[in-house]
Amino acid sequence: MSKVTFASHPYLLGFEDLDRLVERTGKSGKDGYPPYNVEQRSASAYRITLAVAGFAEEDLAITVEANQLVIRGRQSEDDEGRVFLHRGIAARQFQRSFVLADGVDVSGAELENGLLHVDLERVEPETVVQTIKINGKRS
């Protein structure tokens, strides 16, 4: 039995990549670390906020790779000479990815009180109307 997806609809041509993207996003981020919020700040602006307590600015990296916003965190191990009787604060690395639509760009980022804010803005593209010439059959 073949898998039926929305991209197999006859009116949706060339959406196979979107289908794979939806499937991949459903599988990513299952562990829920770090927790995050996504808020819409206006009709064309968004903010992603990640709880990154204990991470310094130099421990974080934000990149955009092929319409995918990737936020990585890696804390340096500074345990030399320290003896923990209990260690409940994990210094673990993370990678959190968000898929950006065409025209959505990162407009800035700031780290404040253990929260990393990444601001996004949608730039509306110009509407382009194309007229296609019909060529007659040549004999």
**Mean pLDDT over residues 80-103, rounded?**
86
Question: Are both 113 and 88 inside the same structural domain?
Answer: yes
Question: Are both 66 and 94 inside the same structural domain?
Answer: yes
Question: Are both 116 and 68 inside the same structural domain?
Answer: yes
Question: Are both 13 and 58 inside the same structural domain?
Answer: no
Q: pLDDT tens across 17-31, in order? A: 777 766 666 555 567
**Mean per-residue pLDDT of the chain:** 85
Question: Are both 80 and 118 inside the same structural domain?
Answer: yes
Question: Are both 41 and 6 inside the same structural domain?
Answer: no
The single-letter code of the amino acid at 113 is N
Q: pLDDT tens across 53-91, in order? A: 989 999 999 999 888 999 999 987 777 788 889 988 777
pLDDT at residue 95 is higher than 80: yes
Confidence (pTM)? 0.72
Q: Quick one: tokens of 74?
A: 């890696």
Q: How many domains does the chain have?
A: 2
Range of the domain at 16: 1-30
Question: Are both 23 and 72 inside the same structural domain?
Answer: no
Question: Are both 4 and 49 inside the same structural domain?
Answer: no
Question: Are both 37 and 100 inside the same structural domain?
Answer: yes
127 located within any domain: no
Question: Are both 66 and 102 inside the same structural domain?
Answer: yes
**Which pLDDT score, from 0 to 100, does residue 75 have?**
86
**Mean pLDDT over residues 97-106, rounded?**
92
Question: Are both 18 and 64 inside the same structural domain?
Answer: no
